[in-house]
């Protein structure tokens, strides 16, 4: 039965291709593949970039398996492309099924600061994420229906975040060490930190644990690493590096955003 159906499709294509473009033919027989961007969220923010995670669905209405050839992702700010990259490779789309694909997109914070004059005065930025995919269609009756493009856009507001982190102080006692770092967002968006996991390296000796956050009057945040066990090798500190993995609530953004900070002092 499946082969009879394919022959009928082939006959239909061969009778239509001389007079109709591919898209029109697909729409006439309700086989037009469909793409939708279901969700875009912030996967993480660091001192260097913002990574967006998007979930995309592509529906294959053909009774046969088809392939995605490539996927192009464009990120727009005020109708200007600020980043564009191609994801190469083929993904199989099963016959008469809906297929989910996850894509990560990268926005460089330095690029935003350079491009947007009043970046530090804004609470959020409106972006568009565009996904373009090339679909490899089956050949019918030697008609060359090789490629068909799908295009979809998604709007997302991203809170502005341009953090500056400094070492505020370090105190050595006989048995413990207390280190205070200060994080200040250099934009107008207010932040609240939680789940602050740290890895601190002092002169080659590592400490890890959960830090305490204390909000200051200037809306900066002190990150306190307390009761670190001292040793004879740590009478002073010349080589200091810090890795922070934490969650941040930025203004009224609807969920906590993972933030990763890696800095040497």
Element (H, E) at 111: helix 109-115
Encoding tokens for residue 262?
């890696």
In terms of domains, do 196 and 154 share one?
Answer: no
Q: Residue 93: what pLDDT?
A: 84
- Burial class, 113, CB count within 10 angstroms (exposed 0-12 / middle 13-18 / buried 19+): middle
Q: Residue 12: what pLDDT?
A: 45
Q: Residue 26: what pLDDT?
A: 52
In terms of domains, do 138 and 198 share one?
Answer: no
Domain-terminating residue out of 133, 159, 185: 159
Q: Kindly report the CATH number assigned to the domain that includes residue 14.
A: 2.60.40.10
- Where do the DSSP E strands lie in 61-162? 66-77, 80-93, 97-108, 124-136, 147-159
In terms of domains, do 152 and 192 share one?
Answer: no
In terms of domains, do 17 and 105 share one?
Answer: yes
Return averaged pLDDT per consecutive 10 residues of the chain, 265 residues in all: 48 46 53 86 90 91 83 89 81 86 88 84 89 77 63 91 91 88 91 95 92 94 92 71 94 88 93
Helix (H, G, I), strand (E, B) or coil at 113: helix
Residue with tokens 């934009």: 187
In terms of domains, do 56 and 182 share one?
Answer: no
- The C-alpha atoms of residue 211 and residue 217 are separated, in whole angstroms, by 20
In terms of domains, do 116 and 238 share one?
Answer: no
Encoding tokens for residue 144?
């060359």
Q: What single DSSP character describes residue 255?
A: S
CA neighbours within 13 Å on the CB side: how many for 72? Answer: 11
Q: Residue 69: what pLDDT?
A: 79
Q: Residue 226: what pLDDT?
A: 92
What tens digit of pLDDT does each residue of 212-252 get?
999 999 999 999 999 888 766 666 667 899 999 999 999 88
Q: Kindly report the CATH number assigned to the domain that includes residue 185.
A: 2.60.40
State the residue range of the domain holding 213: 163-264
pTM of the model: 0.75
Phi–psi pair at 17, nearest 5 degrees = -65, -30
């Amino acid at each position: 039965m499946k082969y009879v159906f394919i022959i009928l499709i082939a006959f239909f294509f061969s009778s239509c291709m001389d007079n109709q473009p591919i898209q029109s033919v697909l729409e006439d027989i309700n086989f037009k593949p469909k793409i939708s961007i279901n969700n875009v969220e912030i996967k993480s923010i660091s001192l260097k970039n913002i990574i967006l995670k998007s979930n995309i669905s592509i529906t294959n209405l053909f009774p046969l398996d088809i392939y995605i050839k490539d996927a192009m992702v464009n990120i727009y700010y005020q109708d200007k492309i600020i980043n564009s990259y191609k994801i190469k490779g083929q993904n199989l789309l099963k016959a008469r099924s809906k297929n989910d694909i996850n894509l990560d997109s990268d926005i460089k914070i330095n690029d935003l600061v350079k491009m947007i004059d009043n970046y530090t005065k804004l609470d959020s930025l409106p972006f568009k994420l565009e996904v373009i995919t090339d679909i490899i269609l089956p050949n019918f009756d030697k008609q060359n229906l090789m490629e068909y493009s799908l295009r979809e856009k998604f709007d997302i507001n991203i809170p502005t975040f341009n953090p500056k982190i400094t070492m505020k102080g370090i105190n050595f006692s006989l048995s413990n060490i207390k280190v205070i770092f200060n994080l200040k967002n250099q934009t107008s968006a207010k932040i609240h930190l939680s789940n602050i996991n740290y890895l601190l390296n002092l002169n080659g000796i590592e400490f890890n644990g959960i830090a305490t956050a204390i909000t200051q009057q200037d809306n900066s945040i002190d990150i306190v690493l307390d009761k670190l066990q001292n040793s004879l090798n740590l009478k002073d500190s010349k080589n200091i590096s810090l890795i922070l993995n934490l969650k941040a609530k930025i203004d009224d953004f609807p969920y906590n955003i993972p933030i990763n900070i890696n800095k040497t002092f």
